[in-house]
Copies of this chain bind each other. A is one copy, B any other.
């Protein structure tokens, strides 16, 4: 009677999920968000509205689900130079992505949903990515901030500004990273 969290791949359920997600992404990309409704999503996905209602509950949950799956990182972050340089590049891209119209809206969607599971997922994704840099630095004996410091003093200010204030610029982001690096008094 209940719906599975992760449908078996290849099954009908998975196909419906994919079609609905795709439909939502298409619509968000091409039309005003206020005009995105469940009946329309259903029509474009060749599915009945009741299927969507039963599976996701309401539009907010569906949007949160789509947003969270879009915010999920594809793979390991790129490794070009030192751990610090890699981190800097990654954070800058992260900030840009989240501050963009689409990213901002995805953050909203994820936070707006009644169920906070999707929001927590996003936090987990971010920590997971950052942990990669920490592991790399450790392997090279490079001094590096802790995960907590990165989350509290780099990620949090960026997200706060995006949500409650103005989008942060790249100078600002670099300063945040510089400040949190150990053994180097905010050089630059």
Residues of A within 8 A of B (CB): 33-34, 60, 107-108, 111-112, 114, 119-120, 122-123, 151-153, 155-157, 159-161, 163-165, 176
Query: Could you tell me the distance between the alpha carbons of A120 and B34 in the complex, rounded to whole angstroms?
Result: 21
Shortest distance in angstroms between A158's beta carbon and chain B's nearest beta carbon?
8
Interface centre among A33, A157, A176 (most CB of B within 10 A): A157
Q: How many copies does the complex hold?
A: 2
One of B152, B159, B176 near A176 (C-beta < 8 A): B152
Residues A111 and B114 in contact in the complex (CB < 8 Å), given A120-B164, A152-B153, A163-B119: no
Complex Cα distance, B166 from A120, in Å, reads 9
Q: Which of B112, B151, B165 contacts A111 (CB 8 A)?
A: B112
Q: Are A163 and B111 in contact (CB under 8 A)?
A: yes
26 pairs, CB–CB < 8 Å, chain A vs chain B: A33-B114, A107-B111, A108-B112, A111-B111, A112-B112, A119-B163, A120-B164, A120-B165, A123-B160, A123-B164, A123-B165, A152-B156, A152-B157, A152-B160, A153-B153, A153-B157, A155-B160, A156-B157, A156-B159, A156-B160, A156-B161, A157-B157, A159-B160, A159-B163, A159-B164, A160-B160
A60 and B113 alpha carbons, distance in the complex (Å)? 11
Q: Is the CB of B114 within 8 A of A34?
A: yes
In Å, the complex CA distance between A159 and B164 comes to: 10
Of the listed residues A34, A60, A123, A165, the one surrounded by the most CB atoms of chain B closer than 10 A to its CB is A165
Q: How far is the CB of A28 from chain B (nearest CB, A)?
A: 13
Minimal Cβ-Cβ distance residue in B for A166: B120
Closest Cβ of chain B: how far from A118's Cβ, in Å? 10
Collect the chain B residues with CB atoms within 8 Å of residue A155's CB.
160
Which residues of the other chain, B, contact A114 by a CB distance below 8 angstroms? 33-34
